[in-house]
Amino acid sequence: MDDDPRVRTWAPVCRAVAALLGPYAEVVLHDPGTDRILAVWNPMSARGPGDPSLLGELDALDPAAPDVFGPYEKLLADGRRLSSVSAILRDADGRASVVLCVNLDRTPLEQAAAVLSAFGAPAASRPEPLFEHDWSDRVQHVVGSYVRECGRPVERLTRADRLAVLARLEEARVFAVRRATPVVARALGVSRSTLYGLLAELRAPNTKDHAR
């Protein structure tokens, strides 16, 4: 793996970032062609060269895509919370050469900040981010704004429209809350069965059919 010319090209910057951010950051180089890991500096998970990248959503080969993603939040199996940025690094011809990811472990910093701030605080300040007081509002909001965007009322949405709305709701983790499915089905004006059908299609886009 180390003899890959791309690794030779980008390794110095990876080593530099890994050295700068000390033991709390992991630097990963991905191959956008094979969707596999090329090299890892300062690994925090058990992944190594050759393992699948699992980059998923970001499509490096799309020339219209932006070059830098994030920072966004990732979660490790052991509960550590990471701040991650990804960058598409291009060769002289502008083609995507590799994808660089930097994963910074935020938990030690957050612990430190919490300890220090706890010292100044006379009364125990209640940590109350409490955003989605009502998740069903969020459903209405997502559906409503989509309807406004495309100018069609709910009952005239196409199948593709519904898939798009569901993608947003899925991204908002709406289906992780209990009893959410019937609410979404009603908001979309479809039956429970249809909703599950759409969700299945959404979650397995490759397996179009032929599965019988």
Which residues are at the interface with a second copy (CB under 8 A)? 19, 21-24, 73, 75, 79, 81, 108-138, 140-142, 144-145, 148-149, 168, 171-173, 176-178
Q: Please identify which residue in the block is written with the tokens 């990732």.
A: 74
Cα separation of 93 and 91, whole Å?
A: 5
Contact of residue 7 among DNA, a second copy, none (CB under 5-8 Å per partner type):
none
Backbone angles phi, psi at 166, to 5 degrees: -60, -35
What does 152 bind: DNA, a second copy, none (CB cut-off 5 to 8 Å by kind)?
none
User: Is 181 in contact with 169 (CB distance < 8 Å)?
Assistant: no
Cα 95-13-107 angle, rounded to 5 deg:
110
Query: In the window 141-170, what residues touch DNA (CB under 7 A)?
Result: 159, 162
Candidates 72-80, 118-126, 136-144, 173-181: pick the segment binding DNA (CB under 7 A).
173-181
Which residue number, 39 or 142, has a Cβ lying nearer to a second copy? 142
21 binds, among DNA, a second copy, none (CB under 5 to 8 A by kind): a second copy
- Interface residue with DNA, options 4, 47, 181, 187 (CB under 7 A): 181
Position among 72, 137, 197, 207 found at the interface with DNA (CB under 7 A)? 197
Burial class of residue 180 in the structure, from the number of CB atoms within 10 Å of its CB (0-12 exposed, 13-18 middle, 19+ buried): middle
Q: Do residues 31 and 98 touch, judged by C-beta distance below 8 A?
A: yes
Does residue 193 touch DNA according to CB under 7 A? yes
Segment (H or E) for 199:
helix 192-203
